[in-house]
Amino acid sequence: MPHSEEQDKECELRRLEESIQDRPEDPSLRFELGVLLWEDDEKEKAAEQFVVAAKLNPEIEKGGAFRYLGLYYAGLESQSHAQRALKCLQKAVSLNPDDSVSGEALCDLLDQQRKETLEVAVCREASQKSPRAFWAFQRLGYLQLHQNKCSEAVHSLQHAIRGYPTSPVLWEALGLAYQRLGRFTAALKSYGRAIELEGTRIFSLIESGNIYLMLGSYKKGVEAFQQALEFSPKSVSAHYGLSSGLLGLAKECINLGAFRWGATVLEEASKVAWTSTHLAGNMSSIWKLHGDILLTYAKCYPWMEEDHGLEFDVDAFNNSILSWKHTCCLAAKTARCSYQRALHLAPWQANAYSDIAVTSNFIYSLDNSSGHDSSSWQPSEKMALGALLLEGDNSEFWVGLGCLSNHNALKQHALIRGLQLNVSLAVAWAFLGKLYRKQGEKQFARQAFDCARSIDPSLALPWAGMSADSHSRESAADEAYESCLRAVQIFPLAEFQIGLAKLALVSGHLSSSQVFGAIKQAMQHAPHYPECHNLNGLVSEAQSNYQSAAVSYRLARCAITNLSGSDTKSQMKDITVNLARALCKAGNALDALQECELLKKEGLLDAESSQIYAFSLWQLGQTDLALTVARNLAECVSAMEQASAAAAVILFSRFLYYISGLDSTINNILQMPKQWFQSSKFSLIVSAIHALDQRNRLRPVGLSIRNNLKTPEEITEMFFLLALGTLVKHGSEYRLGYQKGIDHIRKSLHMYPNSSLLRNLLGYLLLSSEEWKNTHMATRCCRIGTDPIKGGFKMAYEILGAGAVACYAVGNSNPKFSYPTCSYQCLNEPQTIQHLQKCLRQEPWNQNVRYLLVLNLVQKAREERFPRHLCIILRRLIIVALSDELYHKPGISFRYMKFQLLLCASEICLHDGYVIDCINHANDASMITLPDAYLFFAHLLLCRAYASEGDAVNLNREYIRCLELRTDYNIGWLCLKFIESRYELKTGLDTLELSFKECSKEMKNSSNMWMALFNLVQGLMSISSQDTSSAEGFLSQACSLAGAESTLLLCHGATCMELSRLGYDSQFLSLAVRSLTKAQEASLIPLPIVSALLAQAEGSLGSREKWEKNLRLEWPTWPPEMRPAELFFQMHLLAKQSKASTDTSSIEFCQSPQGWVLRAIHTNPSCMRYWKALQKLVE
């Protein structure tokens, strides 16, 4: 039976005592006995043994005896014993610096006796003696951190971590040292390691959160504080940090324009801060933070616009404004109470007075219905003076008083006093400039703004002041707009944003996305300002969103009813005029007429509203009354301003033309007073009417009014109209004189080469002429700029997009999919899709850009064989485009765009294998009301869809339907010819051939090319039916019609070689050489296969040199990744024939003949001819 543990110890004790009796001078036995007694808690007896052992051998067990003696004396409560403990532990550490127990005990004793210097000395001495004295480095790092010697502490703590890598306290201390040194990234890593080792390290979590807040990473900071609160729900520091982090996160949202999101975050921050006030209600900083959160919430809380439509409740709008004001006022008043509580706890804090002053002023700006006596002191002024009583030399408090005071003299005194204390205070100069401008001292204001801007260019107010002071500076409207835009970008204040929209109205930037975003933000913060809604309506109107504009004008009229003042009647009149105009443009002529009747009833019908009145009558079919109103308006031009007078006369002339016709309009113009022709705008209208007159009755008037055109813009507009006149007067009954118009525009561009109006017109005419050589030139005429070009038939991006679709070679830049063969192609415009995408990002509401982007992407997909990713993108774009209400409007252009989108959707479905969807889309397209020439293509697509399913009955039906509808576009007949030949669709008549020839005759300059293409199609069909002889005849005729067209020449040459191979007359080989040589010379970029076929033909005629030459020319025509196996095999033949040559620089010498054959086999291992050639080479 084994002995128990107690019995073992007793046996060991007796053994040691007996051994000591035998050897009393042996220190090791004394030490072992002392350790055994120490473990049995007989420390006094153990100490006796340790004393004897130490006397016999002080270095026994590396000073272990002194360690136990030091611990024994340290446990005795006596001053003398404490001194003994110190001496023993010092001796132990000196003998063994690595002894952490002795070292820690020694440092604890020194710490209790407040001997910090000695403690540092002991740790430093131990660390110097041994690099493994990790306890010394640890203790030294803590002491150095306590003494704020952070650089030394970092070194000590890093060394200590090598010994204790899993100590979270060490990592936490190292993080604190890094944090104090400003090395925040390293501090975050150290704190993170401490948290990994012990997830409940509250100090590390809180300090990590504080660092994240300092670095601006508010989201990570909030997460750290939330994690700290999970372990310590009542931590005041964690609550305070979380509130601060949420406040910073909310400000980030506000700066991004996400006001609603920011307000939601601030609501959460307010709850956390309120909780912290219950935990530590006697801390003024917590109350101040709570006030800051609520004041920010009051300033950022947005008014949300509801979707009212054209009819909405006025009371609901007013209630929403009152609710918004009530929410903001309540938050601001609660913030003021929090600031007052902070002031009560710390009345010596001057900032508390300043905070209360700012909050009181904000409350007054929201709730000023009760009014205040301007002669009395406002609460905000009193509190600002309270801050100055505590810190009279604080320049910022003087500026605060200057901003909050309602007395101009006190304002000026306070701002100047602030500048006396700090002349570099930019904000003081800015508000002083604002004060001077308000008093009419524009020169002083300009100087003050210049000083502020030179000191701090990032301050918004000087830039805004510069834009408001544009009239006194005589600067352009664009300069004022740019200055105000800079102010809005720096500080998006509602007043600045409203000013930006006003300047955009003057400078013509209303359609800018920056103005759109600015006015939308202004509406959220100043919904009670009528001009805010009015300007939003103008911005919507500039984007052709007339229904939204009408809604905004109605909101503005509701907002103005809550204002009082002498100017409200004038504002109401302007808003009503804007509303009538928007309703008229939106097609709601009846409501527009009612608004004009209301103005007429109140006697406010001026020139502009009279024009809207007349136009509304004309839209409603009351033409006689509309003409009467326009005539009465024109008779009163002498009492109008020049711009209004010109508009009145122009409107009358236009109505006269639409209602009474061209002859009546010309007669009235000839009878008009001469002074009316002095207006440049009316001169242009006269020129437009003259352009439509075949008899040139206004020619004398037209020559005289040209002297009234002064600016380059007006002169280019005149050339624009003259070109249109040339189109009309030199055209036939069914076709305009495009070539004459193109020649006229080209001459005009020599005088004004930078005119975008003329360039766009030239591009439009080149596209409209439908001539073979003109399409590629259209894209070279237009220039894509940052701003849309006003005027003209089409924008530059529309011409570029349409040209890229009309001329396939314009966007064809990747030989991986197809090789460019057009000699007229414009290779410098392959970026059409990128331009259109950029335009769509700038104007996401522009459906014309989206439509052109879809067409160009379909073109790209067709070139790349309809890849999967492009088809997915196209389907999404088409769905978005078709969902727009634009395509439901009346008008053939909208129906045609919808027709094209449906055809694109059908094409994508056909290539994706969704034949049923393809047929549905094509049927939907065929049901649109369009001319038969367009509907032809819907039924052509149905032919292809039914052919892919093998549905012969429906295929034949749609084929006959295409013949019945007919089309004016040659490409349609060519496609139908392919289908007819492939599926053997015959009606017994030559309807298709006759229709194609009739269609081609209208294309005077391109008729030969289209007939050549028709012969090409017939030749290809003959080849597919193995009638090579007939194919050669068709292709020969095509080459004679088209001239030097490389594609046709290649087809003809290949066909002649095939006839020669089949044993026909040897002259076909000569014909092949002639055609292939012409194709080689005509190619803008060398085409593959041409040189290879030519080499084969020359070789058949016995010309070895020409065979070698053309075979070498074939090699660079192929991209490396597309070279076929036969090319490698031909190079092997060339290498074999050229072995005796001394010139080794040719391409065939880069490999041996066997190497060429191996490459051919690697490319096409199924060809037995290559394997046989390899076998012969090996043998």
326-337 pLDDT, tens digit per residue, is: 999 999 999 999
Model confidence band, residue 370 (pLDDT cutoffs 50, 70, 90): very low
Position 746 scores a pLDDT of: 81
Is pLDDT of 107 > 80?
Answer: yes
Is pLDDT of 630 > 80?
Answer: no
Q: Which of 690, 685, 692, 693 is nearest to 650 (CA)?
A: 685
* 202-211, 264-273, 575-584, 1144-1153: least confidently modelled range: 1144-1153
Backbone angles phi, psi at 368, to 5 degrees: -105, 25
Q: What CA–CA distances, in Å, run from 5 to 11, 12, 160?
A: 10, 11, 38
Quote the mean pLDDT of the chain: 81
* 326-340, 782-796, 856-870: least confidently modelled range: 782-796
Q: Output the CA angle 348-353-356, nearest 5 degrees.
A: 145
Position 12 scores a pLDDT of: 67
Q: What H or E segment, with its residue span, contains residue 1033?
A: helix 1028-1042
Model confidence band, residue 309 (pLDDT cutoffs 50, 70, 90): very low
Model confidence band, residue 789 (pLDDT cutoffs 50, 70, 90): very low
Are 17 and 11 in contact, with CB atoms under 8 Å apart? no
- Assign residue 391 a region (left: φ > 0; alpha: ψ between -120 and 50; beta: otherwise): beta
| Whole-angstrom distance, CA of residue 142 vs CA of residue 148 | 10
| Whole-angstrom distance, CA of residue 72 vs CA of residue 95 | 18
567-593 pLDDT, tens digit per residue, is: 677 888 888 888 888 888 888 888 888
Is pLDDT of 1139 > 60?
Answer: no
630 versus 161: the higher-pLDDT residue is 161
Is pLDDT of 629 > 50?
Answer: yes
1148 versus 218: the higher-pLDDT residue is 218
* 40-44, 518-522, 731-735: least confidently modelled range: 731-735
What are the tokens at 376?
């009395």
What mean pLDDT is predicted for residues 650-660? 74
HEC states along 771-814?
A: CCCCHHHHCCCCCCCCCCCCCCCCCHHHHHHHHHHHCHHHCCCC
Model confidence band, residue 1001 (pLDDT cutoffs 50, 70, 90): low
Is pLDDT of 287 > 90?
Answer: yes
Position 1061 scores a pLDDT of: 79
Model confidence band, residue 1003 (pLDDT cutoffs 50, 70, 90): low
Model confidence band, residue 788 (pLDDT cutoffs 50, 70, 90): very low
Position 230 scores a pLDDT of: 93
Q: What CA–CA distances, in Å, run from 939 to 259, 870, 945, 963?
A: 53, 25, 10, 10
Q: What is the pTM of this model?
A: 0.67
Greatest mean pLDDT range, 194-198, 460-464, 700-704, 1127-1131: 194-198
* 347-361, 653-667, 1028-1042: least confidently modelled range: 653-667
927 versus 801: the higher-pLDDT residue is 927
391-433 pLDDT, tens digit per residue, is: 988 898 999 898 888 888 898 999 999 999 999 999 999 999 8
Query: What is the number of residues in the chain?
Result: 1179
* 256-260, 576-580, 778-782, 784-788: least confidently modelled range: 784-788
Judged by DSSP in three states, 1173 sits in helix
968 versus 197: the higher-pLDDT residue is 197
Q: Output the CA angle 90-93-97, nearest 5 degrees.
A: 155
What are the tokens at 383?
């509190």
Is pLDDT of 850 > 50?
Answer: yes
Is pLDDT of 139 > 50?
Answer: yes
Is pLDDT of 1000 > 70?
Answer: no
516 versus 100: the higher-pLDDT residue is 516
CA-based torsion, 750, 755, 757, 762: positive or negative: positive
Backbone angles phi, psi at 498, to 5 degrees: -65, -40
Model confidence band, residue 1029 (pLDDT cutoffs 50, 70, 90): confident
Q: Which of 1092, 1091, 1094, 1087 is nearest to 1071 (CA)?
A: 1094
Are 397 and 417 in contact, with CB atoms under 8 Å apart? no
Are 483 and 449 in contact, with CB atoms under 8 Å apart? no
Q: Which of 65, 110, 104 is nearest to 86 (CA)?
A: 110
Greatest mean pLDDT range, 335-344, 370-379, 838-847: 335-344
Which long-range contacts does 218-221 make (Cβ < 8 Å, 24+ apart)?
218/245, 218/246, 218/248, 218/249, 218/252, 219/249, 221/245, 221/248
What are the tokens at 684?
């242009």
| Whole-angstrom distance, CA of residue 943 vs CA of residue 309 | 45
What mean pLDDT is predicted for residues 730-759? 75
Is pLDDT of 311 > 80?
Answer: no
Cβ atoms < 10 Å from Cβ of 149: 17
Model confidence band, residue 1047 (pLDDT cutoffs 50, 70, 90): confident
Q: What's the DSSP call for residue 340? A: H
Position 731 scores a pLDDT of: 67
Cβ atoms < 10 Å from Cβ of 696: 11
What are the tokens at 89?
């532990």
Greatest mean pLDDT range, 249-253, 1001-1005, 1118-1122: 249-253
Model confidence band, residue 706 (pLDDT cutoffs 50, 70, 90): low
Position 816 scores a pLDDT of: 57
